[in-house]
Amino acid sequence: MSETTAEAEKAPVPATPSEPKDDQRWSQAMRDIVGGNAMISVLAVFLALVVGAVLIAFTDEQVQETAGYFFSRPGDMLGAVWQAVSGAYGALFQGSIYNFRRDGFLAGIKPLTDTLVYATPLIVAGLGVGLAFRVGMFNIGGRGQMLIAAAGAGWVGFALDLPPVLHLIVAVLVGIIGGAIWGGIVGLLKARTGAHEVIVTIMLNYVALYLISFLLRTPGALQAPGSNNPKTPAMKETAIFPDLLGPQYNLHAGFLTAIAATIFVWWLLNRSSLGFQFRAVGENPNAALVAGINVKNIYVYTMLIAGGLVGLAGVNQVLGTVTTGFSSGIDAGIGFDAITVALLGRSKPVGIFVAGVLFGAFKAGGFSMQAAEGIPIDIVLVVQSVIVLFIAAPPLVRAIFRLPTPGTAPRRQLPIVTKEVKAK
Amino acid sequence: MSVLTEPERPQAEPDNRAVVLRSWKAPIALAIFTVIAAGLFILGHREGTTRFQLSQGSDLIQLPAPELPTFATGIIITIVLALMTAFAFYRVQKYRRVPIWFIAVFAVLFMTGFLTWAAAGATVPVPGLLIGTVTLSVPLIFGAMGGVISERVGVVNVAIEGQLLAGAFSSAVIASATGNLYLGLLGAMVAGVLVSFVLAAFSIKYFVDQVIVGVVLNVLVIGLTSFFYSQVLTKDPGLLNTPPRFSRIEIPILGEIPILGPVLFEQTIIVYIMYVVVALVYFCLFHTKWGLRMRAVGEHPTAADTVGINVTGTRFWNVSLAGAIAGLGGAYFTLGAVGAFGKEMTAGAGFIALAAVIFGRWDPIRATLAALLFGFATNLQNVLGIIGSPVPSEFMLMLPYIVTIFAVAGLVGRSRGPAASGKPYIKA
C-alpha cells in the first residue's frame, strides 16, 4: 500500500478518469508498464549514459583529430568515437562487475565485491535521506552527520581498549548516536522554531567540517600522537569490520549493516506504527495533525533516525573502508551522493538498495576507468546527476521516447474528416 | 440563571489596535554577548597595547594609528556593553523596540573590543581587514542578488553554487581564449543563465521539487566543470586557462576618503558593476512595475495570474536573470581574484550566498550587508591567523554558519520568505 502513496507526490497525472473496458484493459496495462516508473528509471540511466558517452567522445583527442577530416573519411571519426566510448564503458564494467582479464572466476569477480564496498555507505546514507523524504523533509546534512559519526566511531576505534566484538559494537553505536544527534538538532530546530531544514542542514555541514578540522589538528583530540598532519591514528584491530569473503576481497561486514538497515527501514515504514505516522506526516502534515499525530515530534524522530542512518555511513567509512586513520575528507561526497541515491530509489528501501549498488558500481568502475582510459572520474558525477534530473521529471523522459502517460486511456482515433469535400 | 456557560476561550481575542509584542530576543542576545565580552576581555586577561593601523602607506590623507591599552579597553567596553544591554531590557520592558542602529553600535563596540583583545601586543591592519572583506564578499553579494531575485519570484535557488562555478569556468575559458575580459564577463553571464534555464525548465515546466533540482544542478555543474578541467583545460592551459585579470581602477576623489576610500573605490570593474547591480535590484524590486509583478508572482501566483500576469513567463525570465547575476559573481573568482580556473574553486560560496539571502530576509540591501558580514568573518580569521589569535581559526570560520542557523531559528529576527517560494504554480 505504501508503495503507491509515494507516487502521488510525483508529477501530477492528468486527472482524466479512464474507463477501461474489457478489451482495453490489456492495452491499458501495457501502457502503464511502458510509461511506468521502473521503465522511466531504466530509460533515465540509459539517457545519462548517452550523455556521458557524448562527453567522452567530444573530449577524446583521437576523435578531435579525426573530426578534422570528417567529410573525407567519416569512418575514421566514427571508429574513434566507438573506441573511446566502448573503451570507457568497458573499463567501467570491468572495474565494477567482472574483470575478464583475470584468471578464474574468483579473481574476476573481485570488482563486484568492490562495488558492494562502495555501495555500502551509499545505501545507508541513501536510506537516511530517503526516510526524511518520506516525511517531507530534505536532509542535505549528510556530510555533517557523516563527519560527526566518523569522529565518534573513529575516536572509540583508536582511543579505547575493549574486547574484540564489544569494541566494534560500541564504536558503531557511538557513531550512530553522533549522526543522530547532528540530525536531531535539525529536527528539533524545525519542530520548535520552524527553521527550514534545508538551510540548517547545509549550515551544519560546514559547522561539522570546521569542528572536525579543529579536532583533527588538536593534539589529544583526534590527531594522531606525534604527527603534525590533520589525521587520526589507525583504528585498532578490534574495532574494524571483519572481512566477509577473506582477505583477498575488500568486502567487509559493513555490508551486512547496509542490508540490516534496509530491512529495518522497510519494517519501520511499512510495518510499524511510527512509520505509519511518518508517512502520514509526509503525505499531509495538516491532515496528520488533525488525526492526532504529534507532527513536531515526528519531525524530531525522523531526523534522529535519518541522522543515525547517515551516521552509519560515516561509521562504515572509518571502520570498514579507510581503517588507517581519517582526515576531514572522510565523507568523500557520500552525503550528497546519497541524495541522488534516494531520488533514484524513489525513497523506498529496496529501491535505495538497488540504486546504491548501481552508484557504487559507477564509483568502483569510475576509478578503473580513470586508471585505464584516463577519463576523469568526474564524469560519474555528471552521469549520476543527469540520471536524477531525468528521474525527477518523468514527463520529459516520456516526451523523449514518446511513451504514453500511465493511467490515461489511449487517445481515441478521431474520425477522419477531409476538408477537401467541403471545398467548392 | 443557566449553569451552562460558554466554554472559556483559551486566548483573549486580539483587538483591532496595533499590539506591540514584547520580544525579549534582542536583549537576551545582547546579554549573551556581554557575558562573552566579560569572559574574554576581563577573565581572559591579556596585557599589552593594541595598535590600530588606519591608513596605508600610499594613502593621501594619513591618519594616526591609535594605540589602546588592551586590558583597560576591554574593561571599559564591557561596562559600556553591559549598560547598553540594561537599556535594551528597559526598552522592552516598556513595550518599545530596540532600534536597529542600537544593535549596530553594540556590534561595532563588541568587535572593537574583540579585536583589541585578540591582537594584544600587535597591530590590527584595519584597511587590510576591510579591503579583504569586500574582496571576499563580492561573489557572495552577486550570488545573494541572484538568490533574492529568484526566491522573490517564487523559485528557491539552491543552484547559486552551480551558477557561480559555471560562471567562473566559462569566464576563465572565454577570456583566456579570446584575450577579451568583457567577453569573459559575458560568457559568465551566459553560463549562469544556462544553469538557470535548467532550473527553470525543470521546476516550472515539469514541477520538479526546486530544492532537488538545485542540489542536483550543483552536482552536475561540479561534475561538468571538473571533467572539462581535467580533460581539456589541463591539456592546453596556455590557451584555455590563463585569462588576463581586471586591474584596479581608482575613482579620483572618492578614492581618497580615509579608510573607506581604498576599500570601496580602488577596486576592479566587477566590484563597480556590483554596486550598480545591488542598487538596481533594490530600486527595481520595490519601485518599478517589474518588481511589483515579480513579488506578486512570488507571494501569491494565483492572484497574480488572475490580474493577468503571466506567472510562468515571469518566473522563467527572472530566474534566468538571477542566473546571469550569479554568473557574474563567478567571473570574479577567475577574472577578479585568482586568474586561472581550479576544480570546485567556489568552495561553497554559493551556499553562503544562500545563507545571506535568508539572513538578509530576502531584501537586497540586507542580503548585501549579510554577505559583507560573512566576508568579514572569513577575512577576520585570515587576519587574526597572521597576527596569531587566541581563538582557533576554525571557530571564526564557523561563525557565519552558526549565525545563519540562529537567524533561521528566529533568534535574531523572524525570517519569513516569499509565501509561494518553492511551490510550483500549477494552473488549474
The answer to whether the CB atoms of B395 and A12 lie below 8 A apart is: no
Residues 201-240 of A with CB under 8 A from B: 202-204, 206-207, 210-211, 213-214, 218
The answer to whether the CB atoms of A12 and B224 lie below 8 A apart is: no
Smallest Cβ distance to A384: which of B212, B219, B401? B219
pLDDT of residue A14: 46
pLDDT of residue A331: 84
Parse chain B into domains and list their residue ranges.
25-121, 127-408
Report the DSSP beta bridge partners of residue A336: none
Asked if A271 reaches chain B (Cβ–Cβ under 8 Å), the answer is: no
Residue to substitute from B212, B217, B359, B426, interface A, most A β-carbons within 10 A: B212
Q: B311 and B394 in contact (C-beta within 8 Å)? A: no
| Mean pLDDT over each residue of chain B, to the nearest integer | 84
pLDDT of residue B192: 95
pLDDT of residue A419: 52
Alpha helices in B119-268 (DSSP H): 126-152, 160-178, 181-200, 210-231, 237-240, 260-265
pLDDT of residue A413: 55
Report the DSSP beta bridge partners of residue B124: B52
Distance, C-alpha A230 to centroid of its chain: 29
Kindly tell me the burial class for residue A13, based on how many C-beta atoms sit within 10 Å of its own C-beta (0-12, 13-18, 19 or more).
middle
Please identify which residue in the block is written with the cell numbers 572618492: B254
3-state helix/strand/coil string of chain A = CHHHHHHHHCCCCCCCCCCCCHHHHHHHHHHHHHHCHHHHHHHHHHHHHHHHHHHHHHHCHHHHHHHCCCCCCHHHHHHHHHHHHHHHHHHHHHHHCCCCCCCHHHHHCHHHHHHHHHHHHHHHHHHHHHHHHHCCCCCCCHHHHHHHHHHHHHHHHHHCCCCHHHHHHHHHHHHHHHHHHHHHHHHHHHHHHCCCHHHHHHHHHHHHHHHHHHHHCCECCCECCCCCCCCCCCCCHHHCCCECCCCCCCCECHHHHHHHHHHHHHHHHHHCHHHHHHHHHHHCHHHHHHCCCCHHHHHHHHHHHHHHHHHHHHHHHHHHHCCCCCCCCCCCCHHHHHHHHHHHCCCCHHHHHHHHHHHHHHHHHHHHHHHHHCCCCHHHHHHHHHHHHHHHCHHHHHHHHCCCCCCCCCCCCCCCCCHHHCCC
Asked if B23 reaches chain A (Cβ–Cβ under 8 Å), the answer is: no
d(CA B249, nearest CA chain A) in Å: 35
Q: A175 and A149 in contact (C-beta within 8 Å)? A: yes
Rounded Cα distance between B200 and B206, Å, is 9
Which chain A residues have a beta carbon less than 8 Å from that of B226? Answer: 376, 378, 381
Smallest Cβ distance to A211: which of B212, B358, B394? B394
Kindly tell me the burial class for residue B400, based on how many C-beta atoms sit within 10 Å of its own C-beta (0-12, 13-18, 19 or more).
buried
Residue to substitute from B230, B239, B357, interface A, most A β-carbons within 10 A: B230
**B151, B20, B10, B415: which is closest to A193 by C-alpha?**
B415
Say whether B246 sits in a helix, a strand or coil. coil
Max CA distance (Å), chain B: 97
A309-351 confidence digits (pLDDT tens): 999 999 999 998 888 888 888 888 898 889 889 988 888 999 9
pLDDT of residue A420: 52
Asked if B324 reaches chain A (Cβ–Cβ under 8 Å), the answer is: no
d(CA A169, nearest CA chain B) in Å: 31
Half-sphere exposure of A387 (CA within 13 A, CB side): 26
Asked if B222 reaches chain A (Cβ–Cβ under 8 Å), the answer is: yes
Rounded Cα distance between A360 and A367, Å, is 11
B97 band by pLDDT with thresholds 50, 70 and 90: confident
User: Cell triple for residue B309?
Assistant: 500576469
Better pLDDT: B12 or B303:
B303
Residue to substitute from B211, B216, B361, interface A, most A β-carbons within 10 A: B216
Asked if A84 reaches chain B (Cβ–Cβ under 8 Å), the answer is: no
Residue to substitute from B222, B408, B415, interface A, most A β-carbons within 10 A: B408
B17-39 confidence digits (pLDDT tens): 555 566 777 788 788 888 988 88
**A278, A366, A255: which is closest to A2 by C-alpha?**
A278
B337 band by pLDDT with thresholds 50, 70 and 90: confident
| Long-range pairs, A73-78, Cβ under 8 A, ≥24 | none
**A142, A119, A6, A35: which is closest to A352 by C-alpha?**
A119
**A117, A182, A189: which is closest to A147 by C-alpha?**
A182
B269-325 confidence digits (pLDDT tens): 889 999 999 999 999 999 999 999 999 999 999 999 999 999 999 999 999 999 999
With b for 16 or more beta-carbon neighbours within 10 A and e for fewer, the B140-173 pattern comes to bbbbbbbbbbbbbbbbbbbbbbbbbbbbbbbbbb
Rounded Cα distance between B403 and A123, Å, is 33
Per the document, the length of chain A is 424
d(CA A237, nearest CA chain B) in Å: 32
Which chain B residues have a beta carbon less than 8 Å from that of A196? Answer: 358, 408
Rounded Cα distance between B228 and A59, Å, is 8
The answer to whether the CB atoms of A392 and B206 lie below 8 A apart is: yes
> Taking each helix axis from N to C terminus, what angle separates A378-392 and B210-231, rounded to the nearest 10 degrees?
150
Percent of chain A clearing pLDDT 90 (strictly above) = 39
Rounded Cα distance between A381 and A368, Å, is 15
Q: Pseudo-torsion of CA A98, A102, A105, A108, nearest 10°?
A: -30
| Mean pLDDT over each residue of chain A, to the nearest integer | 84
> What topology does CATH give the domain B127-408?
ABC transporter involved in vitamin B12 uptake, BtuC (1.10.3470)
d(CA A242, nearest CA chain B) in Å: 33
B155-180 confidence digits (pLDDT tens): 988 899 999 999 999 999 999 888 88
d(CA A388, nearest CA chain B) in Å: 7
Rounded Cα distance between A382 and B223, Å, is 5
The answer to whether the CB atoms of B219 and A381 lie below 8 A apart is: yes
Rounded Cα distance between A168 and A162, Å, is 9
Q: Which residues make Cβ contacts (< 8 Å) with residue B52, sequence separation at least 6?
A: B65, B66, B67, B68, B115, B123, B124, B126
B188-200 confidence digits (pLDDT tens): 999 999 999 999 9
Q: Amino acid identity, residue A363?
A: K
Asked if B216 reaches chain A (Cβ–Cβ under 8 Å), the answer is: yes
Phi/psi at A399 (5° precision): -65, -40
The answer to whether the CB atoms of A392 and B202 lie below 8 A apart is: yes
Q: Amino acid identity, residue A326?
A: F
Measured between CA atoms, the residue of chain A closest to residue B354 is A199
Chains A, B: CB pairs < 8 Å:
131
Max CA distance (Å), chain A: 100
Asked if B397 reaches chain A (Cβ–Cβ under 8 Å), the answer is: yes
The neighbour count for residue A283, using CB atoms within 10 Å, is 16
Q: In what order do the strands lie in the sheet with B123-125?
A: B67-69, B49-53, B123-125
d(CA B408, nearest CA chain A) in Å: 5
Parallel/antiparallel/unpaired status of strands B67-69 and B123-125: unpaired
pLDDT of residue A10: 44
Residue to substitute from B155, B173, B213, B219, interface A, most A β-carbons within 10 A: B219
B232-246 confidence digits (pLDDT tens): 888 888 888 888 888
Q: Which residues make Cβ contacts (< 8 Å) with residue A258, sequence separation at least 6?
A: A119, A120, A123, A124, A316, A353, A356
Q: Which residues make Cβ contacts (< 8 Å) with residue A417, sequence separation at least 6?
A: none
Compute and round to an integer the Cα radius of gyration of chain B: 25
B193-236 confidence digits (pLDDT tens): 999 999 999 988 888 888 888 988 998 999 999 999 988 888 88
Asked if B398 reaches chain A (Cβ–Cβ under 8 Å), the answer is: yes
Q: pLDDT digit of tens for each residue in chain A (424 aa)?
A: 344 444 444 444 444 444 445 566 777 766 666 666 778 888 888 999 999 999 988 888 888 888 778 888 888 888 888 888 888 888 888 888 888 888 888 888 888 998 999 999 999 999 999 999 999 888 888 999 999 999 999 999 998 888 888 999 999 999 999 999 999 999 999 888 878 788 889 889 999 999 999 999 888 788 888 778 888 888 888 888 988 888 888 889 999 999 999 999 999 999 999 999 999 999 999 999 999 999 999 999 999 999 999 999 999 999 988 888 888 888 888 988 898 899 888 889 999 999 999 999 999 998 888 888 888 888 988 998 998 888 888 888 888 888 777 766 655 555 555 555 444 4
Smallest Cβ distance to A12: which of B348, B411, B426? B426
Q: A209 and A148 in contact (C-beta within 8 Å)? A: no
**B341, B385, B335, B410: which is closest to B25 by C-alpha?**
B410
Asked if A55 reaches chain B (Cβ–Cβ under 8 Å), the answer is: yes
**Does ipTM come in above 0.90?**
no
pLDDT of residue B20: 57
Which chain B residues have a beta carbon less than 8 Å from that of A347? Answer: none
The answer to whether the CB atoms of A194 and B410 lie below 8 A apart is: yes
